[in-house]
Amino acid sequence: MMWQQEDYTISSVPAYLAKRLGYYAVLLLAAVCLSYLLASLALDPRAYYAGRQPPIPAASVNHHLTEIGVNDHDPLLSRFLHWAGHAVRGDLGQTIDGTSVNAEFGRRLGVSLRLLLAGTVLGTVAGVLAGAWTAVRQYRLSDRAVTVASFALLSTPVFLLAILLKTGAIWFNQSTGTDLIQFTGERSPGLTGGFWTILKDRSVHLLLPTLSVALFAVASYSRYQRNTMLDVLGSDYLRTARAKGLGRRTVLLKHGLRTALIPMSTYFSYGFLALFTGATFTETIFGWHGMGEWFIDSIGKNDVSSVVAVNVFAAVTVLLSGFLADLLHAALDPRIRQAS
């Protein structure tokens, strides 16, 4: 309809982003409240102290639970308000063992980011390139090979892949007679040395976890990117670009891939959530003490505050990646910049 375009006044990009940000803040609030309620209802902190030898007296359990604000004898609302009162001041409470959630959070956040960041960035870039490349080579042998490999990967459970990688590494180490590839923890305990020694040590520890994160990203993004690229390859404007006399590379990259990235920005934010979920297993298998491991541990311990903290982290990550996707979308697509 011809009149629509005229009537959208060109509102500024910052205004658009501010609006999205406000919208995300509301979502975050809702997510946090819900996860608090859910965790409080589903978990039973009292059980953590049951069956100890010697038994802990009920009065002191009660006292401790009240101290850390998760006593189920207090009304849920007042527990929540107590927690929220601290949370708005940036204090996420105490773990069931009485230590500070914030401190634990800080420690584990770094671990998780180190684990996910390299893998995600690597996997995304490689996935986009692989997708675009296979689209250009549609139905050729290379396209089919990548397709089969991605589907095989996508149907492999994360933990299985991680174990396979580990087995492969052990085999590699044995057959080369070295211990080149490390797969437990973030660094070799007790290692001392200069910056380069430490860096090298960390890198060899990062190798397998990064690979397992990246492989999934490559597999799923390459599928999406292949589809969006195929749409673009048949488009009229690529034909126009060729008709102008542009070279094949310019046509495919500058006009083709650039436009085919637009719909991908949405996938990026969904994909991040999947990666985070997958990372829970990756951490456990490779012995990294990150957020995922904490989540599993704290559920096992019926530790309400820690579970909520991990949920806060997950919600912030998802919304942040959603916001980044919005930014990316606005940066990539002039139609969005003006129409909203």
Partner 1 sequence: MSTTPLLEVAGLDVDFDGRPAVRELGLTLRRGEVLGLVGESGSGKSATALAVLGLLPGNAAVRGSVRLDGTELLGLPERELTRIRGRRVSMVFQDPLSAFTPVYRLGDQIAEAVRAHQDVSRERAAERAVELLDLVGIPEPALRARSFPHEFSGGMRQRAMIAMAMANDPDLILADEPTTALDVTIQAQVLDVLRTARQATGAALLLVSHDLGVIAGTADRVAVMRDGRVVEQGTVDDVFRRPREPYTRELLAAVPRLDATRRPRPGSGEPVLRVRGLTRTFPVLKGTAFRRRVGTVYAVDGVDLEVRRGETLALVGESGSGKSTTLFELLELARPEGGSIELFGQQPGTLGKAAARALRRRIQIVFQDPMASLDPRMPVGDIVAEPLRTQGAGRAAAGRRVRELLAQVGLDPADAERYPHEFSGGQRQRIGIARALSVEPELLVLDEPVSALDVSVQAGVLELLQRLKDELGLAYLFVSHDLSVVRNIADRVSVMYLGRTVEAGPVDEVFAAPRHPYTQALLSAVPLPDPELERKRTRILLAGDPPSPTRRYEGCRFRGRCPLYAELAEQERKRCAVDVPVFEGDGVACHFPRVRSVV
3-state helix, strand, coil in the chain (%, to 5): 75, 0, 25
- When asked if residue 140 is in the footprint of partner 1 (CB under 8 A), the reply is no
Which residue among 147, 188, 227, 338 contacts partner 1 (CB under 8 A)? 338
Q: Is 134 in the site for partner 1 (CB under 8 A)?
A: no
- Say whether residue 157 binds partner 1 (CB under 8 A): no
Amino acid at 93: G
3-class SS of residue 72 = coil
Which of 211, 257 has the CB closer to partner 1?
257
Q: Does 284 bind partner 1 (CB under 8 A)?
A: no
Among 52, 175, 236, 300, contact with partner 1 (rule: CB under 8 A): 236
334 is a site residue for partner 1 (CB under 8 A): yes
Q: Does 143 bind partner 1 (CB under 8 A)?
A: no
Angstrom CA distances, 148 to 54, 154, 330, stand at: 58, 10, 34
- For residues 241 to 280, the per-residue mask of contacts with partner 1, x marking binding by CB under 8 A and - elsewhere, is xxxxxxxx------x--xx--x------------------
Does position 237 bind partner 1 by CB under 8 A?
yes
- The token duo for 119 is 């893998």
Site for partner 1 in 18-57 (CB under 8 A): 23
Of the pair 28, 153, the CB lying nearest partner 1 is at 28
CA dihedral 304, 115, 100, 318 (to 10 degrees): -50
If one asks whether residue 300 binds partner 1 (CB under 8 A), the answer comes out as: no
Tokens of 286: 């490779």
Query: Can the peptide bond before residue 54 be classed as cis, meaning omega within 30 degrees of 0?
Result: yes
239 binds partner 1 (CB under 8 A): yes
Residue with tokens 């080369």: 176
Residue from 62, 235, 266, 284 in contact with partner 1 (CB under 8 A): 235
In DSSP notation, 163-222 reads HHHHHHHHHHHHHHTS--S--SSSS-TT----HHHHHHHHHHHHHHHHHHHHHHHHHHHH
Nearer to partner 1 (CB atom), residue 242 or residue 289: 242
Positions in 185-224 near partner 1 (CB under 8 A)? none
Please report whether residue 63 would count as binding partner 1 according to CB under 8 A.
Answer: no
Biggest CA–CA distance in the chain, Å, is 84
Rounded to the nearest 5°, which phi and psi values hold at 29? Answer: -55, -50
Stretch that binds partner 1, among 6-14, 112-120, 159-167, 293-301 (CB under 8 A): 6-14
Residues near partner 1 (CB under 8 A): 1-9, 23, 234-237, 239-248, 255, 258-259, 262, 332-335, 338, 340
